[in-house]
Amino acid sequence: MSTQPITITESGMRFGPFAQDKCFYVEASKVYEAIQDGVKIAEFLLLRNNGSTSNNNPVIWIVEAKSSSPHPDNPSGNFGRFIDEIKQKLVNALSLGLASVLGRHPQDEPELPFAFKKLRLSQVQVKFVVVMKDHPDDALSPITDALKEALHPTIKTWAFDPASVIVLNEALAREHGLINTTS
């Protein structure tokens, strides 16, 4: 297996580079190809350490990239559909990622990075991350608020941290090490 870092281009943004054993490009995986009919999915899962001195448990960042969004006050309801689609993609990526770790999709075993295979799922936290291309900082808050509300049942049932939803623009994604600084 190659140890070249993974770089992912989605929605006009270049993510990475990421270590192969820490990134599962689920949208391009064979397991997703086998189940994709009627199943929307986020771009990739990235395994990171919490970084907290009191708790260094792993965190799976589930990343969805978007190039645009409707205005939150859109009277036609497009904003609600936009949020629902993102929620579906993030929750489906969570489900498929965890199902893969649990061995529910044997065809996925060769693609699943080693670091994911050895996870103790009871200790894992999740960050649902949406990266918006060309969005000013002040346009992120309505998306964050709506997505937090939409994902609230998932976050509560899995006992994830209440701050598990993050919406970033390209500049903030660079600060979080998601987007290459040269892209």
Asked whether the beta carbons of 103 and 109 are under 8 A apart, the reply is yes
Q: Looking at residues 149-178, what average pLDDT do you find? A: 95
What is the C-alpha to C-alpha distance for residues 89 and 63, in angstroms, rounded to an integer? 9
Q: 8-41, pLDDT tens digit by residue?
A: 999 999 999 999 999 999 999 999 999 999 999 9
Burial of 122 (0-12, 13-18, 19+ CB in 10 A): exposed
Return the structure tokens found at 32.
Answer: 């997703």
% of the chain exceeding 70 in pLDDT: 91
pLDDT at 183 over 60: no
The C-alpha torsion from 130 through 113 and 153 to 123, rounded to 10°, is -120
Q: 90-123, pLDDT tens digit by residue?
A: 999 999 999 999 989 877 678 889 899 889 898 8
| Entry pTM | 0.91
